Amino acid sequence: MSHDDRLPRDAQSILELTARSMFDLFANASEGMMLVDREGRVVWINDQYRRFLPALGFEREEDFVGHPVSSVVHNTQMHQVLATGKPILIDLLTNRAGTFVVSRIPLRDDAGEVIGVLGIVLFDHPETTLQPLISKFARLEQDLNEARRELASQRRSKYTFASFVGSSTAALEVKRQARRAAQSASPVLLLGETGTGKELLAHAIHAASPRAGRPFVSVNMAAVPDTLLEAEFFGVAPGAFTGADKKGRDGKFRIADGGTLFLDELGDMPMSVQVKLLRALQEGEIEPLGSNKLVRFDVRVVAATSRDLQQMVREGSFREDLYYRLNVLPIRVPPLRERRDDITLLIEALCEDIAARGGGAQLELGADAQALLAAQPWRGNIRELRNVLEQLALRSDSPHIGAAQVELVLREAGLPALAPTRASPRADDAGGPLGEALLRPLPEQIAELERRAIQQALARTDGNRTAAARLLGISRASLYDRLAAMGMLSENQTVV
């Protein structure tokens, strides 16, 4: 008679034998058991479980038994099993007492209703030790936490008010307004030409606000294709689409929760998204794409634009209600030519930064070089000034820079290189130095203007050609034609 003959061959007996074996298995493999009632309260623990109490932070049994399981066992899933009625046969649970292999089994009454859950801490059997698996899991979890911390610190803002260089009346006034705005919870609207420091101020406002410890998250309307903006803002529910987004994706509102959401180039936001943004701001809730659940958020909005929003409202290309919603604390950031007194300080600060990043010696500009720079109209403001200084640092062998070198770099950058005048230089006066610069062959000037406009647009959109074409009001194809004609198409990404 073989051993096999002792095995039953009918389903009922097989099940009974299995149930008995499983019962023994669980009883022997258990290093502790806990029972939770229908309300999710711990109603019983066995002697073995009691040994965990000190490590879980409880001196006395009555501080543990009788309390909701979710408030006494960190990271527990017992209430989940109560809610779904589905067992979790094997799981890893990590809390302050360590990492454990656990099993959670719903208990049902005769009618099949879930009346409680049995939680079992499984015995770590010496022969089949799970320790390597558990320590691998613990290590991965630690790595994940580190990565999360790092990500969070990257999301913290880069600049403070000290980074905003300037001691002119205009600069001090901007900083005063921005500091006040930092203390308020209302939306801030930063208005000013490109390169005036709007983004820098948005960071600084966040850093000086009570939300400084929480994320600073930006969305640039000019850099994200219209069709993707909605997903970018509101996120995508898992399974909403097939393919790359199958797993779902958090939107910027969600990522910025508790912190600041920076809407850069607000004037470039398409109408369809304006409607949805307004609704989100009014309701304080968003609906991720493909989900029908509303998610509450808590973000402070700071927006910036170089466009004339009021004009856009009149033309009907920007929603009036959204404009009023965001225009609560408007701050006008003046262009560089309205605060020429800051140029010397700015040159020094920018050269210091360029040297620190590039590792070279810090440039020293002679008085004539500084005067020449101060006379320029700086349509691209501080960003443009920085570009010119970077070019100077790249081009010259010596850190000492004279007016001739500045002039050369200005011309190569397609800037008119206006001569400094003794009287207060008003670069925009038609009869002034600009008037002289205008007396050159027209095709040459037009080509120069076109080149500058395209460079500006690409700089503004971080090299995104679709967005640049939109800014310039020309088609993408037309932008490509012009770039090709100028020999600027060879490089892959950015052209500036």
| Residues engaged in binding ligand ADP (CB under 6 A) | 164-166, 192, 194-200, 304, 346, 349, 382-383, 386
**397 and 345 Cβ atoms separated by less than 8 Å:** no
* CB-CB contact of 38 with 116 (8 Å): yes
| Cβ contact 320:281 at 8 Å | no
Burial of 93 (0-12, 13-18, 19+ CB in 10 A): buried
Output the smallest distance, CB 59 to ligand ADP, in A: 56
Residue 382 partner contact from ligand ADP, Mg ion, none using kind-dependent CB cut-offs of 5 to 8 Å: ligand ADP
Contact 112, 36 (CB under 8 A): no
Q: Give residue 364's Cα distance to chain centre.
A: 37
Match 């304080």 to its residue by tokens. Answer: 284
* Count of residues that bind Mg ion according to CB under 5 A: 1
Q: Which x/- pattern over 165-204 shows residues binding Mg ion (rule: CB under 5 A)?
A: ----------------------------------x-----
Closer residue to ligand ADP in complex, CB, 230/264:
264
Angle at 231 between CA 225 and CA 234, to 5 degrees: 135
Minimal CA–CA distance to 474: which of 496, 490, 491, 450?
450
**Positive/negative CA dihedral, 477, 273, 290, 248:** positive
Decide whether 266 or 346 has the Cβ nearer to ligand ADP: 346
Q: Which residue's Cβ has the minimum distance to ligand ADP? A: 197
> C-beta of 163: minimal distance to ligand ADP in Å?
6
Least gap, CB of 418 to ligand ADP (angstroms):
21
| Shortest CB 373 distance to ligand ADP, Å | 15
Partner whose footprint covers residue 177, from ligand ADP, Mg ion, none (CB < 5 to 8 Å by kind): none
C-beta atoms surrounding 231 within 10 Å: 19
Least distance to Mg ion, CB of residue 262, Å: 10
Q: Which listed option, ligand ADP, Mg ion, none, makes contact with residue 165 (CB within 5 to 8 Å by class)? A: ligand ADP
Cβ proximity to ligand ADP: between 11 and 162 the closer is 162
Cβ neighbors of 382 (< 8 A, separation 6 or more) are 195, 196, 197, 336, 346, 350
SS3 217: strand
Report the nearest approach of ligand ADP to the CB of residue 342 (Å). 7
In the bound state with Mg ion, the residue whose beta carbon lies nearer, of 187 and 288, is: 187
d(Cα 43, Cα 74) in Å, to the nearest integer?
17
State in angstroms the smallest separation of the CB of 92 from ligand ADP.
46
Bridge partner residues of 219 (DSSP): 263
Residue 383 interacts with, from ligand ADP, Mg ion, none (CB under 5-8 Å by kind): ligand ADP
At its nearest, how many Å lie between ligand ADP and the CB of residue 143? 33
Smallest distance from ligand ADP to CB 196, Å: 4
Instruction: Report the alpha-carbon distance of residue 485 to residue 496 in Å, rounded.
Output: 16
- By beta-carbon proximity to Mg ion, the closer residue of 193 and 287 is 193
Distance of CA 286 to the CA centre of its chain: 17
CB of 264 to ligand ADP, least distance (A): 7
Which does residue 200 bind out of Mg ion, ligand ADP, none, counting CB within 5 to 8 angstroms by kind? ligand ADP
Note whether 332 and 191 are within 8 A (CB).
Answer: yes
- Each residue 199-238 as x (binds Mg ion by CB under 5 A) or -, in order, gives x---------------------------------------
| Nearer to ligand ADP (CB atom), residue 104 or residue 470 | 470
Nearer to ligand ADP, 81 or 333 (CB): 333
Rounded distance between C-alpha atoms, residue 485 and residue 275, angstroms: 40
Q: Which is nearer to ligand ADP, 403 or 459 (CB)?
A: 459
Q: Are strands 30-37 and 188-191 parallel, antiparallel or unpaired?
A: unpaired
Given ligand ADP, Mg ion, none, residue 197, with its beta carbon under 5 to 8 Å by kind, binds ligand ADP
User: What distance in Å separates the CA atoms of residue 481 and residue 469, rounded to the nearest whole number?
Assistant: 11
Contacts of 116 (CB under 8 A, 6+ apart): 35, 36, 37, 38, 43, 82, 106, 107
By beta-carbon proximity to ligand ADP, the closer residue of 116 and 335 is: 335
Nearer to ligand ADP, 34 or 189 (CB): 189
107 binds, among Mg ion, ligand ADP, none (CB under 5 to 8 A by kind): none
- Determine if residue 284 is left, alpha or beta; phi over 0 gives left, psi from -120 to 50 gives alpha, anything else beta: left
C-alpha 439, offset from chain centre: 48
Return the one option of ligand ADP, Mg ion, none that residue 301 interacts with (CB less than 5 to 8 A, by type): none
CA proximity to 416, closest of 402, 433, 430: 433
Contacts with Mg ion, residue ranges (CB under 5 A): 199
